[in-house]
Amino acid sequence: MAIKQYAVIGLGRFGTSIARRLYEAGQEVLGIDINEESVEDAEPYVTHGAIADSTEEKALTALGIKNFDCVIVAIGDDLQASILTVMLLKNLGIKKVIAKAMSKRHGQVLEAIGTNWIIYPERDMGERVANQLLSPNVLDY
Ligand code: ATP
């Protein structure tokens, strides 16, 4: 598998689990969070960790974000920060921007500003569990 450069913005449980899986698969992962403790906690699971506010263009540019193949915006609760971050990334020319949405409206805004893949964590996980239960290969529950 070719090695790609990923950046994960927002190192809560969701962001950290994406970062960790990519990192363990041998990919280059930059983990970014505004909170120092979150960056420290994620440090074992990323290639580089950075404390930065992703709503600030200068901060993103200083991290060389333009060179990344794919950026995952894993900020949920702060709607404004999530939307501003995606807008900046799209304006900077990032081809693949993935973002988590906490509500239908949040998702609609993310879609309108060009997010390439919108993840609804609870909904998507629920569907996945149901699909697994319906799969003929699954053990009977
Ligand atoms: P999870 O459900 O994944 O555990 P959470 O409940 O910790 O997430 P969220 O609001 O989804 O909280 O935020 C995820 C992370 O995003 C937090 O660690 C938070 O510090 C970070 N974050 C929020 N705003 C910014 C920002 N402007 N720049 C960088 N990181 C941010």
19 touches ligand 1 (CB under 6 Å): no
Q: What is the pTM of this model?
A: 0.94
Strand partners, 72: 8, 98
Residue nearest ligand 1's atom 30 by CA: 33
17-69 pLDDT per residue, tens:
999 999 999 999 999 999 999 999 999 999 999 999 999 999 999 999 999 99
User: What does the alpha-carbon distance between residue 125 and residue 68 come to, in Å, rounded to a whole number?
Assistant: 27
Distance 36 CA to ligand 1 centre (A): 12
Q: Is the dihedral of CA 105, 128, 117, 69 positive or negative?
A: positive
> Is the C-beta atom of 31 inside 6 A of ligand 1?
no
pLDDT higher than threshold 80 for residue 141 = no
Q: Would you tell me the crossing angle of helices 79-91 and 104-112 to the nearest 10 degrees?
A: 20
Q: In ligand 1, which atom is closest to the CA atom of 84?
A: 27
CA 112 to chain centre: 18
